[in-house]
Amino acid sequence: MESQDNFAYLLPFIFLTFGLVFLGMARLGDRSAPAWGFGYIAAALGFATPMLLGFLPARGQAVLANAFFFTGFYLYGDALLLRFRRPRLRKARMALWAAGMACAGYFILVADSMRGELMTSDLFCLALLTLPLVTVVGHLRRPIDIALFGIVGLVFLETLVRLVTMTVVMTDQTYVGFERFLASDYAFVMQVGASIIGFLMALTALAATVLDVIGGHQDAAHRDPLTNALNRRGFDRAVAELGELGERGVVICSDVDHFKRVNDDYGHAAGDVVITILVELFRRQLPEGALIARFGGEEFVAFLPGMSLTEGGVHAEVICHAFANRRWETTGIRRKVTASFGVCAVSRNDRSVHEAIARADSCLYAAKDAGRNRVVIEGRQRTDGSATIHSITAA
């Protein structure tokens, strides 16, 4: 009995400690850390209810303990959905929380059934984890994702086993009263199991959070702070990560026409708006998987892996047209702003994508020489109004 009493104090302390650690991690910018933190704090309060709220009637303690545990499981699911950037399904999960409280309240306050209360508690904790697990299962990309999903799945399995066991071996006469249940061997085993699996889940979630924070800082070092496009270092790393896929595709180089005039006439803040809008047009038009980088000032490079030269040219034309027809009055710019584009394919003879970038840059300068606000595609010749677009042929 003494070991059970000691463990009853230790378990809330462990969960509270993890909760505070996660809240500390939240200050580093991880989006799921607050949900993990408050989830563990809620579970700690659930385990500590008899100690903290012993002055309340046993039934009141049971209602509050269920509220804390339901809230903890709700927040665990929230943390999963936030980490994997999936819809949070708040209405459905809040409905489950409310239904669980209503059912638990009925068995505690009306039916006076310990068995019904415990089964209800486990059943709705399972339900609160089921929706998030099903939602994220198709989005596991890294080993840490699989590990986190697995450990949360283990929590689900442990709860399910407990529910089945309780259904088979327990009757309404097994435990008479909340205090007697808390003093039982069953409650002790349940707490031990919950502590071990909860400890493992906390360590795994904490590892995932740390890796996400480190990855976020690394990603920030490889991105342009104004546009969130890749910088040169980030572009090179992203191309290297493509492997063989990075050996074929299309490069688009772009430059805002007369950008210095925009800065001189309307200020650098207006120039920043122009740059941001051009990058946004790239993001909207280019397919998923395209690498968009700001190489400096108003110069941009996009790499479209696996795409043909014709397709790349079409994308560049669409962006060029949309940018030229953009209305700037709301930004304070009272003149037309355009951009020029050069497009080329990565050649089999290219030792790196930078050789293709150099040719696309030559195409870009040809577009500038031909009057700006147009697209020059490697190895092709076309007319745009009265201006002839010179072709650039790969060496």
pLDDT digits (tens, 9 = 90+) for 324-358: 998 888 788 888 999 999 999 988 888 888 899 99
Beta bridge partners of 343: 252, 377
For residues 309 and 346, what is the distance between their CA atoms, to the nearest angstrom? 9
Residue recorded with tokens 């697209």: 375
Q: Which of 31, 30, 43, 96 shows the shortest CA–CA distance to 72?
A: 43
244: which DSSP letter?
G
**Phi, psi of 343, rounded to the nearest 5 degrees:** -130, 135
Say what the pLDDT of residue 27 is: 84
Q: Tell me: the pLDDT tens digits for 252-270?
A: 999 999 999 888 888 888 8
Note the pLDDT of residue 363: 93
CA 205 vs. chain centroid, Å, equals 14
Map residue 110 onto helix, strand or coil. Answer: helix
278: tokens are 């051009």
- Helix axes of 185-221 and 232-242: crossing angle, nearest 10 degrees: 120
User: Among all chains, which residue has been given the structure tokens 């994508």?
Assistant: 353
Are 208 and 145 within 8 A, CB to CB? yes
Cα distance from N-terminal residue to C-terminal residue, the chain: 85
DSSP 3-state of 113: coil
Interhelix angle for 114-136 vs 90-105, to 10°? 170
Measure the CA–CA gap between 216 and 220, rounded to whole angstroms. Answer: 6
Domain residue spans of the chain: 2-221, 232-389
CB atoms within 10 A of CB 276: 14
| Architecture of the 232-389 domain | 2-Layer Sandwich (3.30)
Quote the pLDDT of residue 64. 94
pTM for the structure as a whole: 0.63
pLDDT of residue 188: 63
Is residue 79 within a helix (H) or strand (E), and if so which, with residue range?
helix 58-83
CA-to-CA distance for 145 and 150, rounded, in angstroms?
8
Q: What is the pLDDT of residue 320?
A: 94
Contacts of residue 234, defined as CB under 8 A and 6 or more positions apart, other chains included, come to 219, 221, 222, 223, 293
- Judge whether 305 and 243 are in contact, CB under 8 Å: no
What is the per-residue DSSP string for 36-64?
Answer: HHHHHHHHHHHHHHHHHSTTS-HHHHHHH
SS3 292: strand
| Distance (Å, whole) CA 84 – CA 82 | 6
Q: What angle do CA 116, 41, 140 make, to 5 degrees?
A: 85
What does the pLDDT read at residue 303?
Answer: 95
What DSSP letter does each residue of 163-203 carry, written as one string? Answer: HHHHHHH--TTT--SHHHHHTSHHHHHHHHHHHHHHHHHHH
pLDDT at site 224: 81
CB 342 within 8 A of CB 365: yes
Q: What's the CA gap between 34 and 209, in Å, rounded?
A: 11
In tens digits, what is the pLDDT along the chain, a chain of 395 residues? 444 455 556 778 889 999 999 999 888 878 899 999 999 999 999 988 888 888 888 889 989 999 999 999 999 999 999 999 899 899 999 999 999 999 999 998 998 887 788 888 889 999 999 999 999 998 888 899 899 999 999 888 888 887 887 777 665 555 555 455 555 556 666 667 677 888 888 899 989 888 887 776 666 677 888 888 888 888 888 888 777 666 789 999 999 999 998 888 888 888 899 999 999 999 999 988 899 999 888 899 999 998 899 999 999 999 999 999 988 887 888 889 999 999 999 888 888 888 999 999 999 999 999 999 999 998 865 434 333 333 333 33
Q: Which segments of 228-352 does DSSP mark as H helices, in order?
A: 232-242, 259-266, 268-285, 309-324
Encoding tokens for residue 106? 């009925």
Q: What does the pLDDT look like over 205-229, one tens digit per residue?
A: 989 888 887 776 666 677 888 888 8
**β-sheet bridge partners, residue 340:** 255
